[in-house]
Structures are given as structure tokens and as C-alpha cells.
Amino acid sequence: MAAGDDGLFLSADSGTTWSTMATGSFAAVSIDHTGDVVMALDRSGTVWREDRASALRPVFSSPGSTSLAMSHDGERAVVMVPGSTLWSSESGGSGWQALELGSRLDLRNAWIAADGEIVAVGSSGSIVHVDTSRSVEIQFPVSTDLDAIHLGGGVGYTGGGDGKVLKTLDNGLTWTEMAQTAPQRVLGVDQIDPAGHY
């Protein structure tokens, strides 16, 4: 799957050919681990969902939304909007709840676990941790913008401006800046585990 200014695109042959799923301008797309559930965010702030039971359809809208993340099972999702509110779903996008952060933030990306735990990153080094009881903790371990995050098996990485990369060993509760930096701004991170991909 790919999302961009010209639409949503799907490849069934490892990127050799692509078909158009939707036209329009899209900011983000996420797929569950089976490949059966797709959620996408267009630049007007509308969240779209497609699964085996239904074609691509709008399920939520929050003007100004900039990013979307979905759990691996496709049941939970979070939408980021600059300000003091996150929007989360625990029903595959059919219902959404506002989560008040208590501070105005510009969040760029998030990781959401199957149990609903959320870790989001954003400008000025902000990292937001939301536990399963929806308790919010905000920290600023660095001052540069953070744009990417990935967690799996308790271990995770986030990165952003100035090539900074941070690592967590406790599922996002605490972060340590790594001595080695990337040569430029980090826009995406992932990790491989012998036991499988999270």
C-alpha cells in the first residue's frame, strides 16, 4: 500500500505493478497484520476503512488531522491532530473517543498496541504515553522534533530532526538517546526480530 497526493495505491506483486484504490490526497495509510483491514487518512482529516466485508468508506472526520496509526489486529486506531486532543478507536473505526492530553502538542506519529496502549511522538521532542486506563504521561527527552516510532516486544525506537535516534527497553516508558545518529532527519523506523515482526 502507498498513500500520497494522487491517491491510495495497492500492489499485489511486491511493487511491480500498482492499482488505484482511491483518488484524492492522502496523508497516511495503515494495514493490519493479515492484510485484511486498511485504514487511511486523507488531507481533509477524514479516516477511511476497507476490509473483507466492506469497500473503502469514511468512518471518522477531524479537520486538521495529520497522522494515523492502527494496531496490528486492526481493532484499535489513533488519529493525531495538532492541539491537546487525540482521537482513538477501540472498535475498528466504528466509534471514536476524544483523549485529552492536558497540553497542546504537535504529534507526528504513534504506535498503538493490541491492548490499547499508545505511544505518540511529535515536535520539540515530545513523547506521549497513554496506558490501558487512558492515563497520560508526557516527556521531552530531547528538544528536536520526533517523526517516527516503532515498538515491538518492549523494545522500540523513535527518531527525527538532526538524525537523533532514541531507544526504549520498557515499551515506551523511558527513552535513551543513542550515541550514533543518522546522517539526516529520520522519517521512518522499523525493527526485525527473529521471533517475527511486531
pLDDT digits 0-9 by tens, 64-111: 999 999 999 999 999 999 999 999 999 999 999 999 999 999 999 999
Our count of domains for the chain comes to 1
Cβ neighbours for 196, distance < 8 A, ≥ 6 positions apart = none
pLDDT tens digits, 114-137: 888 999 999 999 999 999 999 999
> Mean per-residue pLDDT for 183-196?
78
In a domain, 10, yes or no: yes
In a domain, 189, yes or no: no
pLDDT tens digits, 36-67: 999 999 999 999 999 988 899 999 999 999 99
In a domain, 38, yes or no: yes
Domain assignment of residue 22, given as a range: 2-177
> Mean per-residue pLDDT for 141-166?
94
In a domain, 146, yes or no: yes
CA-based nearest residue to 104, from 77, 134, 126: 126
In a domain, 186, yes or no: no
In a domain, 183, yes or no: no
Backbone angles phi, psi at 31, to 5 degrees: -130, 140
Instruction: Kindly tell me if the per-residue pLDDT of 194 is higher than 60.
Output: no
| pLDDT band at residue 4 using 50, 70 and 90 as cut-offs | very high
In 10 A of CB 180, how many CB atoms?
6
| Predicted TM-score of the model (pTM) | 0.89
In a domain, 123, yes or no: yes
Cβ neighbours for 186, distance < 8 A, ≥ 6 positions apart = 147, 148, 159, 160, 163, 164, 165
Answer whether 28's CB lies under 8 Å from 46's CB.
no
CATH of the domain at 116: 2.120.10.30
In a domain, 187, yes or no: no
